[in-house]
Amino acid sequence: MGVAPTLGTACPSLPPEGANPPWGGPAVDSVAPTLGTSSAALPPEGARPAWGGPAPVVAVAPTLVAARPLFQTIAVIAYPRISNLDEFQPLKNIPGVRLLWVRSPVELAGLVPGRDWIVLPGSKHTSGDLAWLRAQGLAASVAAFAGQGGAVLGICGGLQMLGEALIDPHGIDGNAPGLGLLTLVTVFEVDKTVRHTQARFGPVRGLWAGLSGVTVSGYEIHHGHTQQAGLAQASELAQPAMPDGLAWQNPAGNVLGLYLHGLFEDPAALQALFDPGGTQALPTLDAVFDGLADYIGRYFEPDFLAGLIQPSCPSASATESL
């Protein structure tokens, strides 16, 4: 990668690869740190970068996560037709949290009930991924973890899997028995729900109690609706955790299912789940982008970024032919 030419109508030739740029630091290629979980290659926090400005605050977020002691693992089941993976990326920036993608029961063996979570994410084919869970032995592992009081969260298709059964009268997804962790039945419908949604959690018990009364924004994208199965004893019935059947919880308080995507992208939800005392500013995606924009505004020359996306200069041969 070379150095961008000076803005203007002229197109000077680029300096040789590795040449020092005009602002006095090393070549651009040698400045950018390698991203990853290791912080060994990065300068000390607060050190001035080679090009003379102060260290950008946003650039060290991955390093801060890696440097802090681990206190929680969030294991997301990565079934073959998993959907909406991006909504879990903010978890990678939560101090002390390890995001683990799981495809076998062995990877769940070290989880600690009462501390760690298992997440059943969205699915593009709920009954098919539910069959895969059983074939891999993961369905039994999830049920055993929940039976020990471990936190299990189901999102959209994951919520549907947590129930007693999937009923498909229109041939949309397929009939299947659920995991039986919530006394719910999902009936698939022809019309698909696709909408942005803002909703408020009602009273939430147990491991998810921090979400009580929190208003979150997200989106729904699913077939069918989920409702009480109606066959269990009253003491075993799933309880609504949001209006309109958007979220449900088991009586013990450790299993929660919701249709709303984007829980971990909502700053209020992140604060409630990971820092209820408000002792630290959690690195939400909006905060990272705001910090990056502030840094560029303070330390980049005006119109520098615009110059990087201007069309390339015509080649010498093309100029001579004009």
Note the pLDDT tens digit of each residue in 124-134.
Answer: 999 999 999 99
> CB–CB of 171/227 below 8 Å?
no
The token pair at 257 is 């299912």
Pairing between β-strand 247-249 and β-strand 239-240 as defined by DSSP bridges: antiparallel
**Per-position b or e across 182-218, b if 16+ CB within 10 A of its CB:** bbbbbebeeeeeeeebebebeebbbbbebbeebebbb
Is residue 313 annotated as a catalytic residue, yes or no?
no
Kindly state the average pLDDT of the residues 229-257: 90
Q: What is the pLDDT of residues 140-199, one digit of tens each?
A: 999 999 999 999 999 999 999 999 999 999 999 999 999 999 999 999 999 999 999 999
List of domains in the chain: 63-274 (3.40.50.880)
Q: Is 146 helix (H, G, I), strand (E, B) or coil?
A: helix
- Residue pair 60/54 in contact (Cβ under 8 Å)? The answer is no
**Active-site position among 11, 125, 196, 261:** 261
266-296 tens-digit pLDDT: 999 999 999 887 766 666 666 667 777 888 8
Task: Output the pLDDT for position 296.
Answer: 82
Annotation marks residue 261 as catalytic? yes
Element (H, E) at 304: helix 304-308
- Which whole-number Å values give the CA distances from 69 to 89, 91, 94, 96, 314, in the listed order? 19, 15, 11, 6, 53
The reported pLDDT for the residue numbered 280 is 66
Find the catalytic residue in 125, 156, 196, 225: 156
Closest among 163, 83, 154 to 123, alpha carbons compared: 83
E-strand stretches of 103-241: 117-120, 122-123, 151-155, 165-167, 176-177, 184-200, 215-228, 239-240
Is the separation of the CB atoms in 256 and 146 below 8 Å?
A: no
Q: Is pLDDT at 47 greater than 70 in this prediction?
A: no
Share of the chain above pLDDT 90, in %: 55
Angle at CA of residue 94, ends 259 and 280, nearest 5°: 110
Measured CA to CA, the distance from residue 103 to residue 38 in angstroms comes to 24
C-alpha pair distances (Å), 103 with each of 86, 91, 136? 18, 19, 8
